[in-house]
Each structure stands twice: as structure tokens, then as C-alpha cells.
Amino acid sequence: EANITRPKGYTVSFHCNPDMEKHHFGMTHPMKPWRLTLSKSLIYSYGMSFAMDNYISRAATYEELADFHSTDYLDFLGTVLPEPVPRDLENQNPDLKFNLGGSDCPLFEGLYDYCSMSAGGALDAARKICSEQSDIAIAWGGGLHHAKKAEASGFCYINDIVISILQLLRFHPRVLYIDIDVHHGDGVEEAFFSTDRVMTVSFHKYDPNNFFPGTGALDDNGPKSEHNSGAHHAVNVPLQDGITDEQYDMLFNTIIGRIVEKFRPSAIALQCGADSLAGDRLGRFNLQVQGHGACVEFCKRMNLPLILFGGGGYTPRNVARAWTYETSIAIGCQDKINPILPQHTPWRDQFRQDTLFPTLEQILGEPRLNKNPPKRLQDIVQHVTEQLRFVQA
């Protein structure tokens, strides 16, 4: 592809580790690290690497992981071996240590390396932002928002986002965390529950009994005590199946616009989970590549240091579409790239499933029935607006 040039006046950095992508959660497990390889090959095929600073990230050290995680948990994570759990027992085993070894968070070969590489990329991104060598830092291998201090959860073992935000807080007074993965960003919310230096905002499908992890109701907004500085600093936007680009972007722009005005963050961390796209194997929304990418565009327009993390995304060719489009937004070349996928994308076969001439921004999957009435969306905006009255920069 021709003509992709470095952006004028700012720097984009791209952080990845090809060794991370070789790991397997198991044949039929929905989380497929090779979606990162697919995404990168599309990004490179468009020639975008010439417009960014490209870094092969190192693995995070034990000490860096211990910034957030308990040493008990890390020690166990570093020594467990992939012992096959009998198929019929795996879901009813009541005492999985640290929630490790079940079907959501299986033990696999090289697990500790995989986790420390994901965190290493996210941490390198934060360090480049702190040293002002980068204005938009991209870490598609990060975004594992469910991991807790001493527990694995929902395909996540190490919370690279928390570790990365802790690094930002060494230089930045206030960080805004935004999460557009279809699941609630519970691990990040919990980690910063008691501080007013991080505001967390998650948009997600909410159905406490039928959709993971079941938390993130509209009125779960931080500690209930007014004496706790974290009060009102968790924003939750619970949504139902089938939400469209137009509805999502209205909510995103209104809510994030007001939060930036009130909270005045000095940096933004955006988790770009691609399971909120239409046609996702686990997701339920109707977002298209444009609607998902519009969130990245909106954050970029805030003109603040920005980290883009990956996250969920279980239909690999659509994950690659979204993260490629969002990389182009970071660079500012989204209007210059050819929507017909490059002929020489090594993985072009993956996209043959769609049409003979697959494109970057085509309609993804059968639309789901939209269960988000306009009235409910207005109520959400109103609740968040009232919540923000209690927030001071």
C-alpha cells in the first residue's frame, strides 16, 4: 500500500511480542492468541508500520507484576504445570486454586510467559507515554481486564491494564479508563475502587444471571461511603443485545464528553475489546468496525496521551478488521487506506469466508434484535450526568 506517512505533530508507538501469539488455550477455547498475528499481518500489509515507532516489548518482570498481584498468586502461576483436568470434572471442581485450571482459565504450556508478555507490552506502552516519547501507544496484546489481585477470571490471569495505569499514575495526576469490551471491566474497576485518581467507565452487556461477569449495574458507582475518595468514580453503562453504532456512539460521546469536562484526566487508557462487534462468537452487540472505531476517534480528539489496549474478540477476522482500522485512526490515515483488503495479506484465506473481495469495513455477521429502547438510553445518560455532579477534578 502506498502513501502511509508518519502523522504530523505527534507520535504513535506500537508494542507487540510475537512470542505471545504462539500460545494456545486449547483447540476449541474461544480465546485465540493468533488473532494478534492476524491483526498485525493486516496492519503491516497496509504499510502502517512505517508511520509508527515499532517496539518488540519485553516480558514484564516478577517485580513489575507484583505491583498489583499478590506474590502468593504469582508464585503459584509461575510453577503450575498444565495438568489435564478430567473433562467431565472440570466445571464442577469446587476448589480450583486461584480459579486456575478450569475451562475459562485453563493451564497451558508457557502460561506464565504468555501473561508476562501481555503485561510487558502494556507496561512499555505506559512508559513511552510517561516519557512523552509517544502520544498514542498501542498494545493489542493487553486489555485483560478481569484478572484480580490474587485470582484469574474470564480468560485473564494478569491484569496488564492495572499494572499499566499504576505506571501512568507515577507521572499523571488523573487517569480516565474506558472499556468498550462487551464484558464488564470488573478487575480494573475493583483495583481502583478506592481512589479518585482513576475514573473507570465500562460499557457492557448486563444481565446479572446470564452474562459474564454479572457485575456493572448502572448504580454501582464506587464505595458507598462519601468519606472514601473513590465514591462516584466508577461509571457503568449496562446495555442489552443488539445495540447499534448510532446508539452506542451517542452514549459514548455524551458520557465521555461530560466525564472529560468534569474529571479533567491527564491521560486516557482505552480498552478496545473487539467482542462488542456484530458477529462475535461470544458478544451480543451490533457494532460495526466504524462504530467501534468511532470511540477511538473520539478519544483521540480529546488530545490527551492515549493508550489503546486490546481485550476480548472471538471472531478473529473481525478482531483484525477492528484493530487494523483503529491503528489507522491512531495514525490518522483512515481516509487514505483502501477498504479492499490488500492482496498480499498472508492470511487472506481467513477473510474468504465473507466475500470474494473482502473489505475492512463490511457488515459483520447477522444483525441481532435490538433490545435497547431509546428511553432506557436516555435514563442512562441522565444517571451518569447526575453522578458527575459529585465529581471534582
The residues that touch Ca ion, with contacts defined as CB under 5 A, are 179, 181, 185, 202, 204
Instruction: Select 85 or 250, whichever has its Cβ closest to ligand VJV.
Output: 85
- Check 184, 204, 232, 292 and give the catalytic one: 184
Question: Which of residues 1, 4, 11, 29 is near ligand VJV by CB under 6 A?
Answer: 29
Contacts of 9 (CB under 8 A, 6+ apart): none
CB of 182 to Zn ion, least distance (A): 5
Which whole-number Å values give the CA distances from 133 to 124, 125, 136, 296, 305, in the listed order? 11, 10, 9, 20, 10
Contact 283, 180 (CB under 8 A): no
CB of 314 to ligand VJV, least distance (A): 7
Q: Which does 29 bind (CB under 5 to 8 A by kind): Ca ion, ligand VJV, Zn ion, none?
A: ligand VJV
Q: Is 293 in the site for ligand VJV (CB under 6 A)?
A: no
Q: Which does 28 bind (CB under 5 to 8 A by kind): ligand VJV, Ca ion, Zn ion, none?
A: ligand VJV
Question: Which of residues 101, 265, 291, 311 is near ligand VJV by CB under 6 A?
Answer: 311
**Residue 184 is a catalytic residue:** yes
CB of 275 to Zn ion, least distance (A): 4
Q: Cell 494478534 maps to which residue?
A: 36
Instruction: Select 69 or 145, whichever has its Cβ closest to ligand VJV.
Output: 145
The number of residues that bind ligand VJV (CB under 6 A) is: 21
187 to 246, contacts with ligand VJV by CB under 6 A? 212
Contacts of 13 (CB under 8 A, 6+ apart): 52, 53, 54, 55, 125, 128, 133, 134, 136, 137, 138
CB of 30 to Ca ion, least distance (A): 17
DSSP line for 151-173: B-BTTBSS-HHHHHHHHHTTT-S
CB of 144 to Ca ion, least distance (A): 13
Residues in the chain: 393
Q: How far apart are CA 242 and CA 45, in angstroms?
A: 32
Instruction: Select 130 or 234, whichever has its Cβ closest to ligand VJV.
Output: 234
Q: Is 144 in the site for ligand VJV (CB under 6 A)?
A: yes
Percentages helix, strand, coil for the chain (3-state, rounded to 5) are 35, 10, 50
Instruction: Select 91 or 382, whichever has its Cβ closest to ligand VJV.
Output: 91
Instruction: Quote the radius of gyration of the chain (alpha carbons, Å).
Output: 20
3-state secondary structure of 381: helix
Q: Is 249 in the site for ligand VJV (CB under 6 A)?
A: no
DSSP line for 281-308: SS----B-HHHHHHHHHHHHHT-S-EEE
Q: Is 103 in the site for ligand VJV (CB under 6 A)?
A: yes
Residue 350 region by backbone torsions, left for phi larger than 0, else alpha for psi between -120 and 50, else beta: alpha
For binding to ligand VJV (CB under 6 A), which residues are involved? 26, 28-30, 91, 103-104, 144-146, 154-156, 181, 183, 212, 273, 275, 282, 311-312
